[in-house]
Amino acid sequence: MAAPVAGGAARGCGAPSFQRKAPAGGSRLAAIAGTRPAVRHGQLLLSSGLPSLDSVLGGGLAVGTLLLIEEDKFGVYSNLLFKYFLAEGVVSGHELFVASAKELPANILKELPAPLLDDNYRNELGEEATAATSEDFQDSMKIAWRYQNLPKMEVSPTTSARFGHYYDVSKTMSSELFQSIKCHSFFLPEELSSQPTIKMCNMNCGYARLLQSIQKIIFQEGFDGSHPQKKQKNILRIGIQSLGAMLWGDDICSTDNPEDSHSLTKFLYVLRGLLRKSLSACLITVPAHLIQNKAIMERVTNLSDVVVGLESFIGSERETNPLYKDYHGLIHVHQIPWLNSLICDVSDTKDLAFKLKRKLFTIERLHLPPDLSDTVSRSSKPNLAESAKLLSSGCGAMAIGKKHLDF
Amino acid sequence: MFAELNELLNASPQRPEKGTFTLLRDTRTDGSFLVHHFLSFYLRAGCKVCFVALLQSFSHYNIVAQKLGVSLTAAKERGQLVFLEGLGSCLDVLFGEEQQQEQAGQPHPLRFISDGASDLRGLFEFVRTSLAPATGDAWPGRVLLLDDLGVLLSLGASPVAVLDFVHYCRVAVCSRLQGNIVALARGGDDSEDEENELLVTSLCHHSDLILWAEGLATGFCKDVHG
């Protein structure tokens, strides 16, 4: 697919085909801190706060797009991703807009994880990584020598100096990092009680109010280019927590036939319009497991740019399953936008799992442990075969069936 | 414009067909490459195109079209392309209500979002006036491109209203103006969205040509998309 596209570009601009056309105003836009232009399609990318999620998304989150996270059952990891996103904004100097219906935004901001900015940590992690790879190298040369060329999914820490940082979950961010950051907040109970209710295009009142305040901030602070001479360009990071939950006044989580099934979809559409017209990016967490009407969830997926679903193993039988002992959950990437191009960068596997250590949240390709002997894990043999069927990239002999061969 | 697709459909820019309604469907994959194909095909064929783009912004289509060899900004300037960007104009409907009043004479095409009126009359009027034959324009054919119809359902229109809109467009464009309509509708057989299913099935019955982009049934594969 790449050759015709490159040929097309050559025909279109009349230049030799190996000359890479720089994105319009690329050098000017790259001066915004915390962003970098994408090589493939000339969009400006932000880091989502997790370098491994950035590599899954093809480099980062593009400015003007919407990242939707389907929450896991207890909201533990989606909350963490939400905080990583905001923390990345603080460290990069972007402006923040935090909206929530259940927690005070000020409290959310107090609990952001601390960034690891010192070099000591980077060296330490570098040593661990090299130690691990040298061991692997020894083993892989003997047994699985064909696999030693496969790349790992996570980005090594030494390369991500200015784009994408690592955070320590056990410490909170110190308040002096916040001093230069402008944070706007929207806490639904306060907003609803302060002003009389308005009716905007038959949308749920909470959503309408949120849209209005986002639009006001974008316009006033000039993110949509309306005050070009005012100050240096910056990015607005919008984080909305648990949209669609009952606290927003929407009943899609409680009934199969909600009264107003279009509020959430209209909200997302208008929000995307606002994002496209301004230098901002948005992360929304949605309790997808609670939404009863699956049609709405499909429409929501179609209307967002990037959709990532989290499935954690807490409380499910997979927690004790030896297959998954290294990981805390699975990540499903449901959708990646095909921006400005006919195809997109999709990673070559869809089986991704994440694990959370104190200082690192990594997303890796899910590996099944080798099936060593007949007697060891006999009770979990059916589980093995069934979960092997879930793997779409095919793990070879394990996906054959429930019976195992006796030799 | 993809040469292989043109050969398969036996179509060429020199002699585009007239009066056809083409439905683009996609399931488990993204069929928007077909929209880009038809957009560049009809612009090359020299038809006047009305593009109702509800899903992505103008610059997205522009950049892809440049890669395919057509420039949308140039086409817009010489009047060959009438572009309705859904994402941008819905902001005008919601936030710019004061300014729009004096421009009325015709209502805003996306007014149904805020009014809650269940018909898409404003949108149809927009399509009709933009494709109406005017003196001094040099483009023989007329084409209406819709991307995509499922968004209209998400924005609050009922499936019957969307079907009425498509029917009106067919009468106006296909039979009166001898033009073509190309519409994209998402959704598959196993989707849970019943309204969308209803819409897609009845459109299948009305269309002359259906191009269905389907993801691989066996799952995901990196090299082959569907």
The answer to whether A344 and A333 are in contact (CB under 8 A) is: no
CB of B145 within 8 A of CB of B50? yes
Query: Over A77-98, what HEC string results?
Result: HHHHHHHHHHHHHHHHCCEEEE
Q: In B, which residues are within 8 Å of A9 by CB distance?
A: 66-67
Residue B173 makes CB contacts below 8 A (sequence gap 6+) with B127, B131, B142, B143, B144, B179, B180, B181
Length of chain A: 407
Q: What region does A241 belong to: left with phi over 0, alpha with psi -120 to 50, or beta? A: beta
Which residues on neighbouring strands pair with residue A95, listed in sequence order?
A236
Measured in whole angstroms, the distance separating CA A258 from the mean position of its chain's CA atoms is 28
Q: Rounded to whole angstroms, how far apart are CA atoms A51 and A61? A: 11
Residue among B57, B116, B156 minimizing CB distance to A276: B57
The CA angle A214-A215-A216, to the nearest 5 degrees, is 90
Say whether residue B156 is in contact with chain A using an 8 A CB cutoff.
Answer: yes
Q: Which of A276, A298, A350 is closest, CB to CB, to B87? A: A276
Residue B196 has pLDDT above 70, yes or no: yes
Lowest mean pLDDT among A263-267, B90-94, B98-102: B98-102
Q: What is the bridge-based pairing of β-strands A61-62 and A167-172? A: unpaired
**Residue B217 in contact with partner chain A when CB distance is under 8 A:** no
pLDDT (0 to 100) of residue A345: 53
pLDDT at res. A74: 82
Determine whether the interchain pair A348/B222 forms a contact, defined as Cβ–Cβ distance below 8 Å. Answer: yes
Task: Please give the full DSSP string across B93-159, using - where no structure is assigned.
Answer: HHH-HHHHHHHTTS--TTTHHHH--S--HHHHHHHHHHHS--TT-----EEEEEE-HHHHHHTT--H
Cβ neighbours of A366 in B, within 8 Å: none
CB within 8 A of A401, min separation 6: which ones?
A385
> Once rounded to an integer, what is the mean pLDDT over residues B40-55?
86
Distance CA A349, CA A35 (A): 26
Determine the Cα–Cα distance for residues A170 and A357; give it in Å rounded to an integer: 10
A379/B1: higher pLDDT: B1
Architecture in CATH for domain A35-119+156-366? 3-Layer(aba) Sandwich (3.40)
- DSSP state letter for A357: -
pTM of the model: 0.75
pLDDT score of B103 more than 60: no
Q: What is the pLDDT of residue A160?
A: 35
d(CA A82, CA A92): 16
In chain A, what are the domain boundaries? 35-119+156-366
Q: For residue B25, give the DSSP letter.
A: E
Give me chain B's average pLDDT, please. 78
Distance CA A236, CA A258 (A): 33
Would you state the pLDDT for residue A390?
47
Higher pLDDT, B195 or A369: B195
**Which residues of chain B lie closer than 8 angstroms to A212, CB-CB?**
95
Buried/exposed code over A112-121 (b: 16+ C-beta within 10 A; e: otherwise): bbbbbeeeee
For residue A148, the model assigns a pLDDT of 59
Q: Which residues of A touch B (CB under 8 A)?
A: 4-5, 8-9, 11-13, 41-42, 64, 200-202, 211-212, 215, 262, 265-266, 269-270, 272-274, 276-277, 294-295, 298-299, 302-303, 338-343, 346, 348, 350, 392-393
Output the CA torsion A262→A265→A271→A275 (10° steps): -160
- B213, B29 Cβ separation under 8 angstroms: yes
- Strands across the sheet with B48-53, in order? B81-85, B48-53, B142-147, B180-186, B21-27, B209-214
* Residues in B touching A202 (Cβ below 8 Å): 114, 116, 156
Is residue A333 within 8 A of residue A349, CB to CB? The reply is no
B-chain residue closest to A275, CA distance: B87
pLDDT above 70 covers a percentage of chain B that reads 78
CB A82 within 8 A of CB A75: no
Q: Hunting for tokens 């990583």 — which residue is that? A: A84
For chain B, the residue count is 226
pLDDT at A177: 76
User: What digits encode the pLDDT tens for the residues B139-190?
Assistant: 778 888 888 888 888 887 888 888 888 888 888 888 888 888 888 888 766 6
Cα diameter, chain B: 56
Residue B35 has pLDDT above 80, yes or no: yes
Q: Which of A231-245, B50-64, B188-202 comes out lowest in average pLDDT?
A: B188-202
Contact A299 B59 (CB under 8 A): no
Task: Determine the residue among A299, A341, A344, A366 to mutate to test chain B binding: the one whose Cβ has the most chain B Cβ atoms within 10 Å.
Answer: A299
**Chain A residues within an 8 Å CB radius of B26:** none
CA distance to partner chain B, nearest, from residue A103 (Å): 28
Among A102-106, B109-113, B123-127, the least confident range: B109-113
Contacts of B61 in chain A (CB under 8 A): none
Residue A117's nearest CA partner among A80, A91, A83, A84 is A91
Query: What separation, in Å, do the N-terminal and C-terminal C-alpha atoms of chain A show?
Result: 46
pLDDT on residue A127? 45
pLDDT band of residue B14 (cuts 50, 70, 90) is: low
Mean pLDDT confidence for B185-205:
79
Low-confidence ranges of chain A (pLDDT < 70): 1-31, 40-41, 117-162, 195-202, 226-231, 317-324, 338-351, 367-407
**Residue A136: predicted pLDDT:** 45
User: Does residue B123 carry a pLDDT above 70?
Assistant: yes
How large is the ipTM? 0.84
Q: What is the pLDDT of residues A192-237, one digit of tens each?
A: 777 666 666 667 778 888 888 888 888 888 777 766 656 677 888 8
